Chains A and B, each alone.
Chain A
Amino acid sequence: MPTLPSSLSPSGPPGSPLRASERFLRRRALWGSFAGGCLLIAAASSVFVTLGIVYVLITESMGFFAQVPFLDFLTDTQWTPVFENAHFGVMTLVSATVTVAGIALAVSIPAGLALAIYLSEYARREVRETVKPCLELLEGVPTVVYGYFTLLFFTPLLQTFIPGLEGFNMLGPGIVMGIMILPYTASVSEDAMRAVPSGLREAGYALGYSRFRVAMRVVVPAAFSGITAAFILGMSRAVGETMVVAIAAGQNPNFSFNPTEGAATITAYIVQMAMGDLPHDSIAYQSVFAAGIVLFVITLTFNLIGFFLRRRFKEVY
């Protein structure tokens, strides 16, 4: 095979500028791989975070589950892990979490849906462009502020209407949280609805439907998976909320679904325990992680369902 004369080869005759280009190419490739490697590590970091969370939750609560029968953990209706008459029924905390989240959803689903329908079907573009950032503002308020507002302003307000309402209760935080998660429920639903092709709408109008009918009979069913995803994400957010409930719903683990009472949610319990000292091998420390596992599993389930639903509605259109 004839070889190229040295003056034409990429490496060139010794000392020629072309030799430098080979060095350049190699160096550039090296930097490129190094950069790529760094970026890969960055991407992997997110996986490490999840692994870290799962690892910590499991190992730190192992001691707890060694002592507490799993059935008790799931069925007992009292949660008093650090007392002599110790009970370890996590359902006590879950009942409060469910009640508060339930109230939040009862507020947020109708409100969010109505708002989403209004924004996607009725409102002009300018109105929509101004309203959506305003909704985002709701989300930008630090949750400590919402907690303060609920405890010192909203609960007393509610107490004038509802005489039996206790100072620490689940109704106030539930309602405030419902409005707090409107950016999730309304905005994401609205995105899903707008993704529905206008062809479907126009078919409805051609049949003589009112806007309302088009919205309810055509758009909402079409965007159903996206809307459900929005509510599930909102629910996940409500379940994971800490400060509002810690400040306004009280810190008494109380197996109750009664909104006029106060009760500690999973998150409130964790924060309350964390404010004391938690030596590594105490039952208090371990109970915190046991509660944490339950919380993580609940929100993981919601997040996964929401993720796949959202993906589905994005793919369909």
Chain B
Amino acid sequence: MMKADVPQATLPDLAGIVDANRRTDLIMAGIGILVLIVAMSLLAAVVIDLILGGWPRLINPDFYLNFPSRHPLQAGIVSAWVGTILVMLVTAGIAIPLGVGAGVYLEEYAARNWITDFIEINVSNLAGVPSIIYGLLALGLFIHGFGLGETILTAGLVLALLILPVIIVSTREAIRGIPLDLREAAYGLGADKWQTVHLYVLPAARSGILTGTIVGLARAIGEAAPVITIGALTFIAFLPPSPLQANPPFINFEWLESPFTIMPIQMFNWVSRPQAEFHINAAAAGVILMLMTLAMNGIAIWLRYHLRRQIR
């Protein structure tokens, strides 16, 4: 080794390099934080803009109990939030059994062959398909093919299909997190496949599945495009019929066939009107919509924390 040929770094050189490195590090950290600040400011701007914009209507209790009206000051969101709840009931009722079932099958039952692979790719693709394509599916197949109308049932169906991939993926991840020991203990006790799954694995994976479901529903609450495509953009100043009734059999399904509106569509409706007073209503509706989404995400986070502690 020719020591004399290699330039030796002197102490001042090293100090210079270290300083330069420290500077670039600081700049890089600064840029990262800057981006974070910009992103959060956008979020804050959106939220503040909505709250400030919608404040006059938000503090007025009429807003929550009134129907839409041509008078901006009298217009309210009751048909919209009731519609959202009813549609979510249908969505949950369809998406949860299908999604959890599919996730369980893919994790517990399916062999590692090309069919499973194909289903996996399929689910991953569906997760990335734009929501409006689901709207087209509903338009072509449900409305024109099966003859379902522009009803709560159709809306619930299309939103359920939209969030199906989300529920499947989170179910799979939740189940994947359950250690093998639990299953082997179950088999040791004499359980068969299905018993292991529904008596041991599913309860253990509860928190992850529930969290994923709620996150999926939170996404569905804010979706407007597919529901507009099936034709929900109308003036609705009434509530769908109640699912419960006074005479036997005490439950009816008329509400499934009812015309309806939902929160994001009501907001879209009001935004499209150029009068400034309607924009106040739109902002207020936006705040409520965001609160609904936030509440669901919050419940999901709380559940994940709470149920995870139970397992430990």
Contact = CB atoms under 8 A, between A and B. Distances in A.
Q: Do A and B share a direct contact in the complex (Cβ within 8 angstroms)? A: yes
Contact of B105 (A40, A115, A133, A179): A40
Given A145-B286, A148-B286, A300 B39 contact: no
Interface stretch (B22-30, B67-75, B241-249): B22-30
A111 interface: yes
A278 B221 CA distance: 26
B130 A140 contact: no
B130 A118 contact: no
Taking residues whose C-beta sits less than 8 angstroms from the other chain, chain A's interface range is 35 or more
A118 B25 contact: no
B57 interface: no
Contact of A145 (B46, B144, B164): B46
A116 to B, nearest CB: 8
Interface string B227-249: 01111010000000000000000
B128 A52 contact: no
B251 interface: no
B185 interface: no
A169 interface: no
Nearest to A39: B105
A118 B28 contact: yes
Interface of A: 28-29, 31-32, 35-36, 38-47, 49-50, 52-53, 55-57, 59-60, 111, 114-115, 117-119, 122-123, 131, 133-138, 140-149, 151-153, 176, 179, 182, 208-213, 215, 233, 236-237, 239-243, 246-247, 267, 270-271, 274-275, 278, 280, 288-289, 292, 295-296, 299-300, 302-304, 306-307
28 contacts: A39-B104, A42-B102, A42-B105, A46-B122, A53-B136, A56-B137, A56-B139, A56-B140, A115-B36, A118-B35, A122-B28, A122-B29, A140-B219, A140-B297, A141-B46, A142-B222, A143-B224, A144-B222, A144-B286, A144-B289, A145-B290, A148-B50, A148-B267, A209-B21, A240-B133, A267-B225, A271-B132, A271-B228
Q: Closest 8 CB pairs between A and B?
A: A118-B32, A240-B130, A142-B222, A42-B101, A210-B21, A56-B140, A39-B105, A32-B194
